[in-house]
Amino acid sequence: MGHIQLLCDIAELNHLFHDSISVESFMQETVEMAARHLDADVCSIYTYDDADRLLMLRATRGLSIHAIGDVCMRLGEGLTGKALEARRCMRVEHASEHPQYKYFAGINEEPFESFMAVPIVRGVTRIGVLVLQRRAQRPFTDEDELACKAVASQLANIIENARFLMTRDLTPTCKPPATIGPELRFIKGKTASAGFAHAAARVVDTHRRFGDLLQTAFEPGLSVMDLDAALAATAEQLQQLQEQVEEKLSDAASLIFASHLLILKDKKFIGPMKQLIAEGIPAPRAVLKIAKEYIDAFAATADEYFREKVQDVEDLAVRIVGNLIGHVEELADYHDCIVVARELFPSDLLRMSSENVRGIVLVSGGVTSHLSILARSLQIPMVITNQPALMDMGDNAEILIDADAGNVYVDPTPEIVSRFEERNRAQAAVRASKGGVKPRTLTRDGTEIRLMANINLLSDIAVAQEANCSGVGLYRTEFPFIIRNDFPSEQEQYVSYRRLVEGMAGKPVTFRTLDIGGDKVLSYYQNAREQNPGMGMRSIRFSLENKDVFTKQIRAILRAGAGADIRIMFPMISSVEDFGQARAVVHECAERLAACGVEHNPAPQIGMMVELPSVVSLIDAFATEVDFFSIGTNDFIQFMLGVDRTNEKVERFYIPHHPAVLRGIAGIVAGAARRDKEVSICGDMAQQPAYVPFLIGLGVRTLSMEAAKIPLIQQTVEQIELSQAEALAADVVQQTSAETIGRLLGVDRQKGI
């Protein structure tokens, strides 16, 4: 009878909410009602903050009233956190004996051993948890669970609608512990950039640093002259940073600090600060006040370009205040440390590289492919892990990251450190004993396979030279665009492209034209935000839509390629018409350069990337038009299978050895061979030893990869017998099961490699 009455009362929850004087009173009345009808000694409501991944006690009947706002736990922590993480009810008869049980001193829950936690969810969104407890020997029943789920379902709608009130009225008073619990001593993450690092942590949260300054009380006494001195010191620091980046990366990347310097020179930004100081406002407070006005204005705009300026202004304000008060050490310093951060921009990586950061741990749970590619170019070990709790551990904690395996160790034991040091010494000895990479790569029966290098930044050239690459199979021209604040000019592009061509000393260089969109967004491109950017105005579509940008790039490539062996290829080609339009731009640019008497390469080979399924059925038509093909396996796989490779929620569906993917590659290679056109592989598959025999067996003779992978792939190729590889490829393309193919190729299903 109690359950029936409870279900009747549930229908009145909306009225109860509207009649309540506050969100707190509504939730308190709800727990009183549920506890009464379900004959529970304790009933509590926890709400979930997705940003902090934190559950907080908001209302209770039966526990200490002082626990409200003071008891909090992370997603997956304790029986309550586990129920929400798994989105399923947890019923336990002896709670304190359960391995997931979490004890909170002083809240008086010790007598209540019977426990039931029902997650409050709306669709896939986690809202909170409804918890009921009874004394021992009074376990909860299936009927109790059904009734509790009905309450939770109704609460989900109400609490979801009341989120604004909750964030305004129910400010958290509890703080997650700064210490790292046992569950965070070892973290299994994902490799973004391989390598090893062992150093002190530096937690980077620019928003928090700026927020701390806003709460600081500053003494008066500093003058306008002091502000001028601080501005000059800040400008000098930024100039030094530009020079460091330029020296290390040999790119136009130093211009990432141009916006900072421009803001420093803006009288509308600096003038009001001086006026406030003249009125008696402490100089640091004046800087922060004006900076906050700019930040609020930028954050409120719908323009992505201006919203990104929030970070620039925050960084700049922190630097100016640091120079004003003499606490320069509070400014970002990444020397010889491992950075822990929620998110990073490409410009952050560049700055960290210039200051010799040892490694990076991102706690956002996902990573864009261009960020990981950039980290690999900069040779910064980087691991991605969905553990925001790491942001609370503070600076100087000892961290070891094994980015080869994607593992993070916090405060590692001496035994763990010793084991890795021994492994690193052994690996170094093996590398030293093998000597340099051979200039030619041959299979066991003498078939030559060209191993080309993928180049992202000009700093990759030295590694490519050391690896004796056969040339550049893919130069990602978008990186100088991504790391800047505006489109580079034709001359700026020419300088970078020419340095690449000269660095390759006569070896072929393949330029992929601008490949932006999807996960590679230019903040300064006004139309960058789209509903589905992966299939929107990206790559060759962007270039053909923005002919001025495209023409400048093609002219820069042709000029840089004068007297050299260069090739141009277009990304994301979906039709023969797309290719024809793009090729026409190349011919038009060459004709105009010739008419003006400008030195250039008049007839580069022109090819295309194969990334879209539409190309497979049209391969014969494409083969009559192009000079060469390059299969970008990363995009090819995600579009063949409909899987966003940057989305951790669906990453298990991203299967390189899926039969449709491998049959598609086989069809491209066969179609190109019928017209005697070269096919190269330039995605991750080219640098995974498990796939190399299959690709060579299909007829692929050119592989392009990160230069650091060339020694490993050369060793793999040298063990291949062509007849065996051909038999393997023939067998694989007949299969319809990814599991069977995985066994044939020796692919690790968990890693997909």
Please identify every residue annotated as catalytic: 370, 682
- DSSP type of residue 495: H
Rg of the chain taking only CA atoms, in angstroms: 30
Pairing of strands 125-134, 114-122: antiparallel
Query: What number of other Cβ atoms are within 10 A of residue 718's Cβ?
Result: 13
Three-state SS sequence of 114-169: EEEEEEEEECCEEEEEEEEEECCCCCCCHHHHHHHHHHHHHHHHHHHHCHHHHHHH
Question: Angle between the 224-249 and 304-325 helix axes, to the nearest 10 degrees?
Answer: 120
Eight-state DSSP code of residue 526: T
AA identity, residue 378: L
Amino acid in the structure at residue 176? P
Tokens standing for residue 311: 């970070």
Task: With beta carbons less than 8 A apart as the criterion, state whether 692 and 703 touch.
Answer: yes
Please state, as a whole number, how many other Cβ atoms lie within 10 Å of the Cβ of residue 3: 16
Q: What does the alpha-carbon distance between residue 550 and residue 586 come to, in Å, rounded to a whole number? A: 9
Copy the structure tokens of residue 345: 């921009």
Read off the tokens for 685.
Answer: 């598959």
Q: Residues 42, 132: contact at Cβ < 8 Å?
A: yes
624 burial via Cβ count (<10 Å: 0-12, 13-18, 19+): exposed
What is each CA distance from 144 to 141, 189, 272, 428, in whole angstroms? 5, 39, 64, 62
**Among 111, 105, 103, CA closest to 135:** 111
**3-state SS class at 654:** coil
Contacts of 139 (CB under 8 A, 6+ apart): 91, 93, 114
Distance, in Å, from the CA atom of 707 to the CA atom of 725, rounded to the nearest integer, reads 24
The 3-state secondary structure of 225-285 reads: HHHHHHHHHHHHHHHHHHHHHHHHHCCHHHHHHHHHHHHHCCHHHHHHHHHHHHCCCCHHH
| Strand pairing category for 472-476 and 509-512 | parallel
Phi, psi of 629 (to 5 degrees): -120, 150
